[in-house]
């Protein structure tokens, strides 16, 4: 008689095999490839992109992946800001919590997605405050009162935040996997997806379009 334990183990093996087969079916793109489905349109770009990593003033890194395809009449740019420490590891990013941007231009339509909310830098400004004591007026510099506030507090109070209201119904997410050789990032691989508004006409709010099955594998310029 076949035991329940045996059936359960068999089920787990079959499940593992299924997952392996599905994963194996999601092929990694060849180097120099970016592909995605935008609405009903499928795009594949080969060997016409550039990727580079800059060091910003504050020590953070800016990763840029850009391409210009004259035949398909498309320009695409993805930019990611991250810490120098994070750049050599896998990152799961989205416009809600991270500084990433996608810009897409084509003859069929255009869109840009940037973070809908950013936290203002409290160290970048000191305010002048007037105090009156015992009939004397004194002015002093002090840090912003939202300095040290948590994200939730800032969002609720409207203090220390930078909003882009037009972005609140759009989103862009990606998984970034760097290939590291001798401590330097030499290639970038990953996936991306999102929900955007795209269209062509002035003042048109555009229609919602899904970004699906986005994949990339690019070399980093040195």
Beta bridge pairs of residue 214: 192
Q: Which of residues 166-195 bind other proteins (CB under 8 A)?
A: 166-167, 169-170
**Number of other CB atoms surrounding residue 124 within 10 Å:** 7
Does residue 86 interact with other proteins by CB under 8 A? no
Grouping H, G, I as helix, E, B as strand and the rest as coil, residue 166 is helix
Stretch that binds other proteins, among 8-16, 39-47, 83-91, 116-124 (CB under 8 A): 116-124
The window from 20-28, 36-44, 106-114, 211-219 that contacts other proteins (CB under 8 A) reads: 106-114
Among 128, 132, 137, 152, binds other proteins (CB under 8 A): 128
Using alpha carbons, list the distances in angstroms from residue 30 to 33, 84, 96, 184, 187: 6, 27, 30, 20, 11
d(CA 91, CA 193): 14
Nearer to other proteins, 5 or 55 (CB): 55
Contact set with other proteins (CB under 8 A): 48-50, 52, 54-58, 64, 66-68, 73, 75, 77, 79, 81, 99-101, 103, 105-107, 109-112, 114-115, 118, 120-121, 123-130, 142, 144, 146, 157-167, 169-170, 196-206, 221
């Amino acid at each position: 008689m076949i035991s329940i334990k045996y059936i359960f183990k068999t089920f787990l093996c079959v499940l593992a095999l299924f997952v392996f087969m599905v994963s194996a079916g999601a092929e990694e793109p060849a180097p120099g490839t970016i592909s995605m489905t935008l609405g009903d349109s499928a795009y594949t770009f080969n060997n016409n992109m550039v990727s580079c990593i800059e060091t910003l003033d504050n020590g953070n890194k800016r990763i840029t992946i850009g391409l210009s395809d004259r035949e398909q009449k498309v320009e695409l740019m993805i930019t990611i800001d991250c810490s120098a420490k994070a750049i050599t590891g896998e990152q799961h990013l989205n416009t809600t919590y991270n500084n990433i941007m996608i810009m897409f231009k084509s003859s069929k339509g255009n869109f840009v997605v940037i973070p809908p909310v950013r936290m203002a830098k409290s160290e970048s400004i000191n305010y002048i405050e007037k105090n009156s004591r015992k009939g004397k007026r004194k002015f002093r510099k002090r840090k912003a009162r939202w300095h040290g506030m948590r994200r939730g507090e800032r969002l609720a109070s409207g203090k220390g935040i930078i909003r882009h209201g037009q972005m609140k119904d759009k989103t862009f997410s990606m998984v970034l996997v760097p290939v590291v050789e001798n401590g330097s990032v030499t290639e970038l691989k990953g996936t991306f997806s999102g929900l955007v508004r795209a269209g062509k006409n002035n003042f048109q709010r555009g229609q919602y379009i899904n970004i699906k099955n986005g994949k990339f594998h690019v070399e980093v310029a040195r």
